[in-house]
A and B are shown apart, each in its own frame.
Chain A
Amino acid sequence: MNSFFTIEGILYFGAISLSIIGLFGLLVSKNLFRMLLSLVLFEAGANLVLVLSGFIRNGIAPIFLDGNSGAVMNDPVPQALVLTAIVIGVGVQALALSLIFRVKKHYGSMDMRTIRSKLEREIATQAGVTPPGSNEAPAPVKLVKGEAHE
């Protein structure tokens, strides 16, 4: 076990805290847009963890300049990875935003729960069945005529 009271320990702690805050927000907020923002935080935290994986104590940026030959450099790979991850995140978030617009327009609500129940109802109507999980007791076993008396 390493100590957390080092610079990288604190960095890790911060990164994890960030993603935890994001995750918590994702769980407790009902508003779609807030959920999206929470997702952004969540991803940001994870990206930080990823970029920290290339962190070398006392390392410098991995760019060959005239003065730095021989210096300890940070790992360039995670930086490249995190660049990719961030852009991927941006794409997904933009997409989510557009979907949220559409959903808001259609359902007139940004509440995840309302939307879920409306969605369920729509699916059920389309399939021609009653929505699942309505609160009635389990359907009694129906006897077909002639089945009694056994």
Chain B
Amino acid sequence: MNSLVLLVVLPLFAAFIIPVVAKFSPKLSLFTGPVVLCINLLLIMSAWIKVGSGSEAIFLGGFLPPVGIVFYIDHFSLLFSGLIAGMVLIVWPWDAKESRLYSLYMLLSAASFGLVLSADLFNLYVFYELLAVATYGIIAASPISKVPNSSATAASLRYLFISSAGSVMLLLGIAIIYTLTGTLNIAHLATMTTSLDGFAGLSAFALIAIGAGVKAEMFPVNSWVAEVYGTIPRQLSALLAGLVSKLAVILIIRMLLMVFQQQAAFDLLLVVGMLGVISGEMVAWRAKDMIRMLSFSSIAQLGLIFIAFSIAGSKGLWIGMALMLHHLLVKGGLFLMADRFAGHMGKLKGLAKHSPMAAAVFLVFVLSLLGVPPFPGFWIKLLLILNLAEQGGGLYHVAIATILLATVIETAYIFKFVRILYQKADADSTPINKNYSSSYTFAKLFALILLVSMLFVSPISNHLKDIANHSASPHIYINKILPTKQLGDRS
């Protein structure tokens, strides 16, 4: 089991040697990354089988927690690890010339693996920052062909400022937690929630949530989304919107589920989630081009995920996880095929005639996004709303109303696009951009997965429920990571 640390180490290793390898053989350096990711996938699969329905902890450096860093492995983290490997493989920059970019992608995947595996607060911060730096780099280094090179840089810079400020907030939160408890191990923190339930502890959570929320497209701190997604290649947007945002969410919910299971924390997430949903949908409603629409729709979906996590206990994790996976598939797929639909929406007329398959795939995605039965999106939304209703409390009811209102607005703008796709072509419309066939293939694959999962709603949901039940339980977490509570156990 200890070898699972290779998930993080191998990509780092690859990142370090790629520049040197590239000096001798650029071809080899291009393939290093995918090979490493495939090895990682194999590792993940074998670990998935080995872990079974239980979980494992890896003590790095052989130091027993809480003094050392721990990796915690269960199906939840393995699931997301697998998604990371798959997603990075899908968006791997095959046509890039610079070997440093491959390094950055490897660093990004290493950081992502670290983020889902690590059970140490400061270690999470380090990986978060590594993810951030790699992201800035990838954004700045890979603008889309038509944009002046530097607008991606400018977007990246603006992103950097807010994200760094967010990181400082995150760091402040960590400092407060450490001052209060004297430990950074999340399991250890979970044993002493009593010292964290006051104003100081919760404000640490708020700082962490908002700090990490920058990456998670949380409401007030997501102004970068439109700028960044507007300037980078769509495959990269798929990666950022589909995956990277989820990783930041995972950081937040780790803290929430293990340490801060308190109503005030849930309410905080609920409020930012609601604001995110409504603001995202409303701005997307005014969007005149596909990318901007997808960007803001992504904000709204992340808001939905936050709302889901505001449901206490394993149910929140269950629904939130389903939402995350669904959004990963849908938004990832939409961004992957967005190059076929780029440009002002008025120019998309007649595309359905030109490429009925693409239009159909698009339709499948958006229908599921809207939550139309029998697509998986419907079941998730239904579960979300039913469970919100069970929570009671006025805020949750407001959240239901918000979600439903947002769905209506979402219908309005999405079908504005659908309507144009199915209109007759005229002189103004541009033919489909056929250059991105590989990402289109992946988009079709995503749609297929979505359709197949429609048939297996119940088993998938049961499986997710099991995973969530296991992963949302602080007891299992504590017992696994702190087998012997040798230190200052206050609980």
A residues with CB within 8 A of B: 19, 23, 26, 32, 35, 39, 42-43, 46-47, 49-50, 52-54, 75, 77-78, 81, 84-85, 88, 91-92, 95-96, 99-100, 102-103, 105-107, 112, 115-116, 118-120, 122-123, 126-130, 132
CB within 8 Å: A-B pair count: 135
Looking at the assembled complex, report how far the CB atom of B268 sits from the nearest CB atom of chain A, in whole angstroms.
21
Cβ 8 A contact of A81, one of B122, B226, B231, B286: B122
Chain A residues with CB below 8 A from B136, complex form:
95, 99
Specify the main secondary structure of chain A where it touches its partner: helix
Q: Which residue of B lies closest to A49 (CB)?
A: B175
**Do A126 and B147 touch (CB < 8 A)?**
yes
**Do B165 and A26 touch (CB < 8 A)?**
yes
B residues with CB within 8 A of A: 122, 126, 129, 132-133, 136-137, 140, 144, 146-151, 153-158, 160-161, 164-165, 167-168, 171-172, 174-176, 178-179, 182, 184, 226-227, 230-231, 286, 288-289, 291-292, 342-344, 347
Cβ 8 A contact of A119, one of B133, B154, B165, B288: B154
CA distance A92 to B227 in the complex (A): 20
CA distance A78 to B172 in the complex (A): 12
Looking at the assembled complex, report how far the CB atom of B37 sits from the nearest CB atom of chain A, in whole angstroms.
24
Chain A residues with CB below 8 A from B156, complex form:
99
Chain B residues with CB below 8 A from A47, complex form:
171
Chain A residues with CB below 8 A from B182, complex form:
75
Chain A residues with CB below 8 A from B148, complex form:
106, 122
**Do B178 and A128 touch (CB < 8 A)?**
no
**Do A78 and B178 touch (CB < 8 A)?**
yes
Chain A residues with CB below 8 A from B227, complex form:
119-120, 123
CB contact under 8 A between A127 and B291, given known A88-B129, A96-B160: yes
**Do B146 and A100 touch (CB < 8 A)?**
no
**Do B161 and A43 touch (CB < 8 A)?**
no
Looking at the assembled complex, report how far the CB atom of A22 sits from the nearest CB atom of chain B, in whole angstroms.
8
**Do B122 and A46 touch (CB < 8 A)?**
no
CA distance A53 to B122 in the complex (A): 14
Cβ 8 A contact of A126, one of B146, B150, B153, B157: B146
**Do B126 and A84 touch (CB < 8 A)?**
yes
**Do B153 and A103 touch (CB < 8 A)?**
yes
CA distance A76 to B174 in the complex (A): 16
CB contact under 8 A between A129 and B344, given known A23-B165, A99-B157, A106-B150: yes
CA distance A79 to B156 in the complex (A): 31
Q: Which residue of A lies closest to B137 (CB)?
A: A95
Looking at the assembled complex, report how far the CB atom of B483 sits from the nearest CB atom of chain A, in whole angstroms.
22
**Do B146 and A39 touch (CB < 8 A)?**
no
**Do A106 and B184 touch (CB < 8 A)?**
no
**Do A26 and B161 touch (CB < 8 A)?**
yes
Cβ 8 A contact of B179, one of A53, A99, A116, A130: A53
Chain B residues with CB below 8 A from A130, complex form:
288
Chain B residues with CB below 8 A from A103, complex form:
150, 153-154, 157
CA distance A88 to B133 in the complex (A): 9
CA distance A42 to B166 in the complex (A): 11
CA distance A46 to B171 in the complex (A): 7
CA distance A95 to B165 in the complex (A): 15
CA distance A104 to B132 in the complex (A): 22
Chain B residues with CB below 8 A from A116, complex form:
158
7 nearest A-B residue pairs (beta carbon): A106-B150, A128-B344, A123-B230, A127-B289, A53-B179, A129-B288, A50-B175
**Do A95 and B344 touch (CB < 8 A)?**
no
Looking at the assembled complex, report how far the CB atom of A51 sits from the nearest CB atom of chain B, in whole angstroms.
9
Chain A residues with CB below 8 A from B151, complex form:
106, 118-119, 122-123, 126
**Do B168 and A43 touch (CB < 8 A)?**
yes
Chain B residues with CB below 8 A from A122, complex form:
147-148, 151, 231
Looking at the assembled complex, report how far the CB atom of A124 sits from the nearest CB atom of chain B, in whole angstroms.
8
CA distance A90 to B401 in the complex (A): 46
Chain A residues with CB below 8 A from B167, complex form:
92
Chain B residues with CB below 8 A from A119, complex form:
151, 154-155, 158, 227, 231
**Do A115 and B164 touch (CB < 8 A)?**
no
**Do B344 and A127 touch (CB < 8 A)?**
yes
Chain B residues with CB below 8 A from A102, complex form:
140, 150, 153
Cβ 8 A contact of B343, one of A46, A78, A128: A128
Q: Which residue of A lies closest to B145 (CB)?
A: A126
Chain A residues with CB below 8 A from B133, complex form:
91-92, 95
Q: Which residue of B lies closest to A101 (CB)?
A: B153
Cβ 8 A contact of B149, one of A78, A85, A106: A106
Q: Which residue of A lies closest to B162 (CB)?
A: A26
**Do A127 and B292 touch (CB < 8 A)?**
yes
- Apart from A92-B132, A119-B151, A129-B292, 15 more pairs, CB < 8 Å: A50-B178, A53-B179, A84-B126, A92-B129, A100-B157, A103-B154, A103-B157, A105-B150, A106-B153, A119-B155, A119-B158, A120-B227, A123-B155, A123-B226, A126-B144
Chain A residues with CB below 8 A from B165, complex form:
23, 26, 39, 42
CA distance A123 to B295 in the complex (A): 13
Looking at the assembled complex, report how far the CB atom of B15 sits from the nearest CB atom of chain A, in whole angstroms.
14
CB contact under 8 A between A46 and B161, given known A77-B184, A103-B150, A129-B288: no
Q: Which residue of A lies closest to B126 (CB)?
A: A84
Looking at the assembled complex, report how far the CB atom of B420 sits from the nearest CB atom of chain A, in whole angstroms.
13
Looking at the assembled complex, report how far the CB atom of B269 sits from the nearest CB atom of chain A, in whole angstroms.
23
Chain B residues with CB below 8 A from A84, complex form:
122, 126
Chain B residues with CB below 8 A from A126, complex form:
144, 146-147, 151, 230-231
Pairs across A and B, CB under 8 Å, 25 listed: A19-B172, A43-B168, A43-B171, A46-B171, A50-B174, A53-B176, A53-B179, A54-B178, A91-B133, A96-B161, A99-B160, A102-B140, A102-B153, A103-B150, A106-B149, A118-B151, A123-B147, A123-B155, A123-B226, A123-B227, A127-B230, A127-B288, A127-B292, A128-B289, A129-B292
